[in-house]
Structure 1
Amino acid sequence: MGQFAEDTRRIHKLLSDVLKPTPLQHSQYLSDLHQADIWLKREDLTPVRSYKVRGAYTFIREALEADPDRSLFVCSSAGNHAQGFAFACRHFNKRGVVFMPLTTPQQKIQKTRSFGAPLVDIKLLGDGFDAANKAAMEYCEAENGLMVPPFDHPTIILGQATVGKEILEQSPEGYSWDRLILPVGGGGLAAGITQYFAQTGEKTEFTLVEPDMAPSLHESLLVGERIRLDRVDNFVDGAAVAQIGQENFKQLSKFSPEQVVLAPTDGVCATMIDMLNIEGVVLEPAGALAIDALNRLPVEQVRGKKIVCVISGGNFDFERLPEVKERALKFAGLKKYYVIQLPQRPGALKDFLSLLGPEDDIARFEYLKKSARNFGSVLLGIETKRPENFQLLHESFDRSDVRWEDITYNEAIANFVI
């Protein structure tokens, strides 16, 4: 067994002071759905509802062992790292300061405050992570604090690697896992687990999953070096990172781009709704990545295999639920938006309604422009029970005198009117 694995075991023993092992649960629903043996590592069930507490606790503990008199810790985060950091500061009775963007949802601010009170202060600065991070680093230098990074540090990686140790310890007797599916943002979790498995001699295959609109690892693997993305979509906020960590990429660079699944945002939303409705499991977008990857992998890599999906977190703000549901319906082909032009005459609306099928439901109807001209423009949202119903609806439109345009995936128009 290598030194990294030995260090991971040491760290895991220290973690037991504050963190019980999270469950490794068999999912009958996912197993039946994919004709496989699917298990879930439930990191959403830690005290702070994500694995991030492992790395933050480990980092602060190691820092205090080196310098017991250290009194101030600082971090920048808009999510799970902030909560894990606050939890650790309170445990060690040390002052902490968290820098968050002004755009951070109140739910995350309140949870961070509750985990760290009364020792952790929250400072809101800037419109995004980069501005908050810059302010945190300047504050840290001015106040002689210690910055606690979210992922790019060997000690953080060690803390996250304890998830892998628990998976092996909790595996049913005689089990040898065919595949582990791991979400990737900054790369701390994946770097830790894959290295631990390698040093313990496990032959498990790995699938790494990133949001398709924040593929920092995938793009770096394509060119063979770390690159910074010019733009990321922050919807999957727990994994929306513009550049994979330097320490993390040292470990993950051995993987090929083909081993990285890019999960579409709307598909992730569909997975979140599916798990909530059927399994009663609340997932944040990043927490759904590993489960969603089951739908993207070739069938031969899933069917009949023993697979663990790591659920990285469940800190979901339910104010986002309407948008998640909306995206899920669109991904499933069950909801579309149109701009239609109805003739300005009595009975035109009644005639239009007769075009709808028995499973079609109007979810939105709004006049965009109404005048004395021959036609009036309407924004129309329609939900249905089966995707093929839209083809029948389009055929009905074409046979009528309705002028129509499908704007469901026209981003410029849809973002303006929907």
Structure 2
Amino acid sequence: MAGKDDPEYDEFCDPDNPRKVKYEDILAASKRILGQIVRTPCPRCHMSSRLGMDLYMKQEFLQHTGCFKERGVRNTLLLLSEEQRKNGVIAASTGNHAIALSYHAAQMGIPSVVVMPVHAPITKMTKAEKTGGKVILQGNSMAESKLFAMSMAKEKKMVYVNGYDHPNVIEGQGTIGIEIVEQVPAVDAVLVPCGGGSLLAGVAIAVKHLKPDAEVYGIVTDRTCSMVEALKKNERIFLPLDTTIADGLAVNKVGVNTFYNLKSGILDKMVVVREDWVARALMHITDEERCVIEGAAATTVASIMAGLFPNLKGKKVVCVFSGGNIDTTTLTRALERGLVAEGRMVKFKVTVSDRPGGMSDLCTLMANVGVTMRDCVPERAWIRGDVFSCQLKVIVETKGWDHTKTLVEQIKKHYKDYFFQDINEHVDSNSGAKRGPCLAPNPVCMQK
């Protein structure tokens, strides 16, 4: 047990005294922050018909700092005493909470410090600095950054604002749930990304109060399963996390208050989606919805694309697009991974004649098939056999798997030596996708 002298002790997030968040608290928060954050739109998605449901996107990436975190931060700062405002606030964050805290603290004239892991995304580090906060890079994980921040808070008499567990933060995030029910009154299900749990807990409390028959699902990736594991074992456990495309969900140990509220029966199910589906979802959202969002936000659509919600076919479903702060390099990688997974970018090797016209013939063949060459590297020294042959390593863009199969057939018809990367391994299925523990006493999704 952490005593008050322990640097990790937080009176607002005390395992011996978890706080129950009520709908009335969320409603009060919505009135408190009115006009100080963006009431984000919730339009119908263009992907609805293809995915077989009435799909809506709650566009939290349109907040000033590009993330839902502003709601909880603003609510918490408004409730500080004059002395607390004077001493300032501090937090540990992988990025989004840091940006939101820096921005709103600066707006209210409150000194702020944010501690970020050394490997935090560059875009988020830069954004936090530009919005007015003092950024300290410390620790190789959120756990190490948090310990440093909480030690500093006690030393400097600052208020530590836990971005995923402070009760006032949970109340602020829950205002999204109120808006969803107002914007899509007939909503059947809400899909929410889950890291530390403040967004999921807040939205679940609000939605279940206003529309008890609506289902609420928490979405994590196979690399950010801390909430799933905690609910399975019925205790908050420390889970080592690897690098992830959904860095906003990379929390080693879920919150005291979020865990306490989520295990009380307000959540229908936790669902785990593979990270390659997240890359595909990012590509489709950018392509079809013309929205740039981060990996954590794309997990909701990814879980639908992966076939994890057959029970929601034909229903009204809201996906919370939690944020849009993604590095351009990460976005580029994700888009390319998505293209590969969908068969729209293909790599292959083929041996052609190294005499005049050999490469030209291949280019003509591909032009006739209608594929676009992205890259081509000739290899002469490391191939066996005819010295008048050349192996080409080629990357092309196609329209999809059917178009790729046409290309494969033509290459097989005209060349003897070839190899297509991953074509034989292509399986457009849900293998590896899984659901987390069901938490509903009488799950709607399991009723016939």
Name the TM tier (shorter chain): 0.7 to 0.9
Q: Distance in 2 between matches of 1:35 and 1:12?
A: 33
Residue among 401, 416, 419 paired with 1:404: 419
Gaps of 5+ in 2: 1-19, 426-448
Q: Distance in 2 between matches of 1:282 and 1:236?
A: 14
Residue among 63, 88, 109 paired with 2:80: 63
Q: Which residue in the other structure is 2:124 paired with?
A: 108
Contact 2:353 2:359 survives alignment (8 Å): no
Q: Which residue in the other structure is 1:292 paired with?
A: 302
TM-score relative to the length of structure 2: 0.77
Q: How many residues align?
A: 400
SS at match of 2:47: helix
Name whichever of 370-379 and 360-369 sits farther off: 370-379
Runs of at least 4 residues off by over 6 Å: 255-258
Deviations 1:182-241 (A, max 9, x none): 111211111111122334462211222112322222333344433333333321111233
Q: Distance in 2 between matches of 1:394 and 1:249?
A: 51
Residue among 32, 47, 57 paired with 1:14: 32
Residue among 58, 75, 88 paired with 1:41: 58
Gaps of 5+ in 1: 411-418
Name whichever of 123-132 and 177-186 sits farther off: 123-132
Q: Which residue in the other structure is 1:205 paired with?
A: 215
Tell me how far 1:44 sits from its aligned partner.
1.5
Q: Which residue in the other structure is 1:359 paired with?
A: 370
Q: Which residue in the other structure is 2:14 paired with?
A: none
Deviations 1:52-107 (A, max 9, x none): 01112222333337x54641211122321011111221133111111223434443
Q: Which residue in the other structure is 1:388 paired with?
A: 402
Residue among 227, 243, 249 paired with 2:259: 249
Residue among 148, 155, 170 paired with 2:168: 155
Decide whether aligned partners of structure 1 residues 123 and 12 sit closer, same or farther in structure 2, where only a CA change above 3 A counts. Answer: same
Tell me how far 1:46 sits from its aligned partner.
1.7
Decide whether aligned partners of structure 1 residues 286 and 255 sit closer, same or farther in structure 2, where only a CA change above 3 A counts. Answer: farther
Q: Which residue in the other structure is 2:100 paired with?
A: 84
Decide whether aligned partners of structure 1 residues 37 and 62 sit closer, same or farther in structure 2, where only a CA change above 3 A counts. Answer: same
Deviations 1:339-386 (A, max 9, x none): x47478546656765775713333222356735854876543232223
Q: Distance in 2 between matches of 1:22 and 1:3?
A: 23
Name whichever of 347-356 and 3-12 sits farther off: 347-356
Q: Distance in 1 between matches of 2:85 and 2:218?
A: 40
Q: Distance in 2 between matches of 1:252 and 1:237?
A: 22
Decide whether aligned partners of structure 1 residues 396 and 408 sit closer, same or farther in structure 2, where only a CA change above 3 A counts. Answer: closer
Decide whether aligned partners of structure 1 residues 3 and 150 sit closer, same or farther in structure 2, where only a CA change above 3 A counts. Answer: closer
TM-score relative to the length of structure 1: 0.82
Decide whether aligned partners of structure 1 residues 370 and 218 sit closer, same or farther in structure 2, where only a CA change above 3 A counts. Answer: farther
Contact 2:230 2:237 survives alignment (8 Å): yes
Q: Which residue in the other structure is 2:3 paired with?
A: none
Tell me how far 1:300 sits from its aligned partner.
4.7
Q: Distance in 2 between matches of 1:331 and 1:359?
A: 20
Q: Distance in 1 between matches of 2:180 and 2:85?
A: 36
Name whichever of 255-264 and 312-321 sits farther off: 255-264
Tell me how far 1:33 sits from its aligned partner.
2.9
Name whichever of 71-80 and 103-112 sits farther off: 103-112
Residue among 270, 294, 297 paired with 2:280: 270
SS at match of 1:26: coil
In structure 1, what residue type is equivalent to 2:162?
Answer: P
